[in-house]
Amino acid sequence: MATHRRIDVSKVGDVSVVRFVDRKIVDEAQVQELAADLFHLVEQDNRRTLLLNFSGVEFVSSAALGKLITLDRKVKAAKGRMKMSDVRPEIMEVFEITKLNRVFDIRSGEAEALAAF
């Protein structure tokens, strides 16, 4: 199994649950490493069902949002599914302003998101 620098990955059934190591995802190098870790899950590890748990994340930069959009496209291209959970209100507000809440399937908690697969 690959070692990831910016994420922790666990399996719940067929779902790969991704938790972020960093509380604030802002630095460009950090965003690039995070993207590489996430893209690796889909492209090399053939993970098709992802749940991104944002419970430990306090801030996400616009560059990181762009990488999440790219990840969503990669998952869909691989005929997979991606959901998000535990998004803090201040990050949810950014998703709503950018209308990404219409792009991403965002659930209130991890259990709800897992049940929705």
The tens digit of pLDDT for each residue in 67-116 reads 999 999 999 999 999 999 999 999 999 999 999 999 999 999 999 999 99
Helix, strand, or coil here: 78?
A: coil
pLDDT of residue 2: 58
End-to-end CA distance of the chain: 24
**CA 30, 98, 72: angle at the middle one, nearest 5?**
60
Could you report the per-residue pLDDT of 54-66, keeping only the tens digit for each? Answer: 999 999 999 999 9
The residue assigned the tokens 């990840």 is: 71
Which residue ranges form the domains of the chain, and what is each CATH number?
A: 7-115 (3.30.750.24)
User: From CA 53, how far away is CA 43, in angstroms rounded?
Assistant: 20
Could you report the per-residue pLDDT of 27-52, keeping only the tens digit for each? Answer: 999 999 999 999 999 999 999 999 99
